[in-house]
Amino acid sequence: MQGGFAVPVDGGIPDRPLRDACGVFGVFAPEHDVARLVYFGLYALQHRGQESAGIAVSDEGQVTVIKDLGLVSQVFDERMLTSLSGQHAIGHVRYSTTGAPHWQNSQPLVRSRNGDVVALGHNGNLVNTTELRDDLVRQGVKFSGTTDTEVITALIAHEAQTDLLEAVRTAVSKIRGAFSATVLSGDSLVGFRDPYGVRPLVLGTLDGHPVISSETAALDILGATFAREIAPGEIVIVDAEHGLRSERVALEGARPALCIFEFIYFARPDSTMAGRNLHEARQAMGRQLALEAPVDADLVIPVPDTGIPAAIGYSSASGIPYTEGLIKNRYVYRTFIQPDDDLRQRGIHMKLNPLTSVIRGKRLVVVDDSIVRGNTTTKLVEMLFAAGAEEVHLRVSSPPIKWPCFYGIDMATRAELIAANMSVDEIRRKVGATTLHYLTLDGLQASTGLPETQFCRACFTGDYPIAVPEEYAMCKMRFENDAACEP
What's the confidence (pLDDT) of residue 343?
Answer: 57
Read off the pLDDT of residues 396-420 as tens digits, 9 standing for 90 and up: 999 999 999 999 887 768 888 999 9
What's the confidence (pLDDT) of residue 91?
Answer: 98
Which residue among 22, 405, 456, 459 is the active-site one? 22
| C-alpha radius of gyration, the chain, whole number | 22
What's the confidence (pLDDT) of residue 484?
Answer: 44
User: What's the fold here for domain 279-449?
Assistant: Rossmann fold (3.40.50)
CATH 3.40.50.2020 positions along the chain are 279-449
> Do the beta carbons of residue 131 and residue 478 sit within 8 Å?
no
Q: pTM of the prediction?
A: 0.89
CATH 3.60.20.10 positions along the chain are 22-256
Pairing of strands 188-193, 52-59: unpaired
What's the confidence (pLDDT) of residue 144?
Answer: 85
Residue ranges of the chain whose pLDDT lies below 70 = 1-21, 96-104, 332-347, 412, 471-487
Read off the pLDDT of residues 261-282 as tens digits, 9 standing for 90 and up: 999 999 999 999 999 999 999 9
> Do the beta carbons of residue 37 and residue 377 sit within 8 Å?
no
- Please confirm, yes or no, whether 22 is among the known catalytic residues: yes
d(Cα 307, Cα 394) in Å, to the nearest integer? 11
Pairing of strands 22-28, 209-213: antiparallel
Q: What CATH number is given for 22-256 in this structure?
A: 3.60.20.10
